[in-house]
Every structure is written in C-alpha cells, then in structure tokens.
C-alpha cells in the first residue's frame, strides 16, 4: 500500500513538472491573447494563430503572378484640380475559404475577411512606372491610362496570402461536426469554423 502511495506521488509530480504539450501551448498563447485552435469553445470571440493551408486550388495574383490562397489589389488615382483628390479606381479581392493549423487542431476560415496583411508590392507614378498588369486592369475597368504629361498619379498595392504564411485570425467561433475534425472516444469528430459576415468580418493579420 505504501508502495502504491509513493507511486501515485511520483506520477502526480511528473504531471505537474511535465504538463502536456497542449497545455504549454495554451499558456503561452494565453499570454498573447491567443487561443490554441484545439481549445476553442463554441460561440467564443477568439484570436487564433497558425499556418495558412489552401483548401482548394491556388489562384494567381494579377500583378506579381504569384500562386496564392488569395490576393487583394487596390489602385488609386491622385488627381490635381486645384487641390489633391485621391480616389480608388480598382479594388479587386479574391479569397476563398482556407484552413488555419497550429499543431493543436485546424480551423476553417470563411469570408468576408478584413485583410490587414502588409502589402508585398506597391508603386506609384505615371505610365512608365506602372507594370503592364496594372495597365491591363485599368483598361478592363475602362479607366484611361496615364500618358506623357498626365497630371494624374496612380498608386497600386497588391497583398497576397501564401500557403504556409503565419497569420492571426480573429472572429466568432462555431464548432461543427466534421469527419476530418478532432474527436475523442466519447464525442464525434468536430472542427472549428470562423465565419465572417458583412457586419463582423474575420480579421486576418500577419503573425509577428
């Protein structure tokens, strides 16, 4: 009996000294205001961090021609008519649902998204400074391209999300039964979803 008592003490000490990896990740994430995906609860407003994983075929960004999960391109025109006036002439965004994985589980992210990633490509200037892809976008939208001596200045910005990018996503979580989700011997397999709406978009930012 004494031997069993000592064994229980040793086991309990080991559990305290060596917490499960999930618990260690949960504590580290909590200090940053993040929730491990495997610990997300139904209806919570959470911020989760992980690596972006494509759920479907990759698409090609129009300016950089990068194979990516999604992209956003904004072209603005600065007109001088006595005072500066800037307006957006092109705002194009293509993002399908994608997966976020952090080692404790996976979450499916659904738009609409509020993309707050740092742009990977931007420039401004006249016709000689704009890449052919941007000029093509202007033509498609029926916007007159700049010519020599044109007082207008165009600025373009392209943002892309690549597979493997480390990001943070924020939104309201729902837990749904899914054959590909996590499960236990008592519960069916489930997976976390973050679903955006026009009034509450899923916010996507770069981790770090």
**Cβ contact 174:168 at 8 Å:** no
Residue 19's φ and ψ, nearest 5 degrees, are -65, 155
pLDDT in tens, 20-65: 554 555 555 555 689 999 999 999 999 999 999 999 999 999 998 9
Which band of pLDDT confidence, cut at 50, 70 and 90, is reported for residue 155?
confident
Mean per-residue pLDDT, 171-180: 84
Q: How far apart are CA 11 and CA 9, in angstroms?
A: 5
Across the strands, what pairs with 149?
A: none
């Amino acid at each position: 009996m004494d031997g069993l008592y000592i064994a229980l003490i040793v086991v309990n000490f080991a559990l305290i000294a060596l917490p499960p990896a999930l618990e260690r990740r949960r504590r580290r994430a909590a200090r940053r205001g993040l929730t491990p995906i495997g610990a997300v609860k139904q209806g919570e407003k959470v911020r989760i961090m992980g690596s972006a994983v494509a759920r479907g075929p990759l698409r090609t960004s129009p300016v950089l021609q990068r194979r990516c999960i999604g992209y956003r391109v904004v072209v603005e025109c600065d007109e001088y008519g006595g005072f500066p006036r800037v307006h957006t002439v092109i705002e194009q965004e293509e993002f399908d649902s994608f997966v976020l994985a952090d080692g404790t589980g996976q979450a499916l992210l659904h738009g609409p998204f509020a993309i707050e990633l740092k742009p990977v490509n931007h420039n401004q200037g006249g016709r000689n400074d704009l890449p052919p892809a941007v000029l093509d976008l202007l033509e498609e939208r029926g916007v007159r391209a700049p010519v020599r001596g044109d007082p207008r200045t165009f600025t373009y910005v392209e943002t892309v999300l690549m597979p493997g990018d480390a990001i943070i996503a924020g939104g309201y979580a729902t837990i749904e039964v899914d054959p590909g989700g996590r499960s236990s011997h008592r519960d069916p397999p489930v997976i976390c979803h973050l679903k955006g709406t026009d009034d509450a978009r899923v916010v996507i930012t770069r981790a770090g």
